[in-house]
Amino acid sequence: MQNIPEIENLIKLISKLPGLGPKSAKRIILKMINNRQELLKPMAQNLSEVFKNVVRCKICGTLKPNTIDCSYNNCEIVEKKYNKICVVENISDQWAIESSSIFQGYFHILGGTLSNNNSNREDLLINSLIERINKDDIEEVILATSATVEGQTTAFYIQDSLKKTDVKVSKLAQGLPVGGEIENLDDGTLISAFKNRKKLEA
């Protein structure tokens, strides 16, 4: 793999993925090139389809096909009606909570934390969270941000922003390990953090 710009570029890109460095990027690319029909071709097609057809919802922050229109009343791609919203930083947090089965309700995905979004708070979809609470008859908002400084600062900011609604706001129990990111917690820890969540005083 010498001096082939297409390959060099691909190595640079794949090395940026979580958990991968240049060495594993090269192995991945070799594997794909050696399996043009089974891997390389469908991979290229699928990536381009995801790029064209999957977008982040501007209201709830989840990933959705861009053929589905989101509105405040019918934003979720779930058919059931719930009265709880769980606020998380990233979609990987939502997936971790879903696989623990501890929470039945809507999710609201901030897409980050306050400190790395200081320039534009609206990126965190907090105004649309307030709209959802009002229009979806939500009774409880559970803040499930990470036990990091950024996660806790964000939780405090959201709690403060929700004072203008009369929704009950609660936060996952303090048992979360400090620095614990939701997506990395095991099911047992998540379940007990949800069960022992604390109502925050307005």
Query: Does 59 help bind Zn ion (rule: CB under 5 A)?
Result: yes
Least spacing, CB of residue 128 vs Zn ion, in Å? 9
Identify which of 112, 172, 166 has the alpha carbon closest to the alpha carbon of residue 142: 172
Candidate residues 32, 60, 86, 129; the one interacting with Zn ion per rule CB under 5 A: 60
Instruction: Give whichever of 72 and 156 is closer to Zn ion, judged by the CB atom.
Output: 72
Residue nearest to Zn ion (CB): 57
Least spacing, CB of residue 74 vs Zn ion, in Å? 9
Instruction: Give whichever of 25 and 85 is closer to Zn ion, judged by the CB atom.
Output: 85
Distance CA 20, CA 138 (A): 41
Query: Does 55 help bind Zn ion (rule: CB under 5 A)?
Result: no
Least spacing, CB of residue 70 vs Zn ion, in Å? 4
Interacting residues with Zn ion between 150 and 179 (CB under 5 A): none
Q: Which two tokens stand for residue 106?
A: 């809507």
Chain residues that interact with Zn ion, rule: CB under 5 A: 57, 59-60, 70, 75
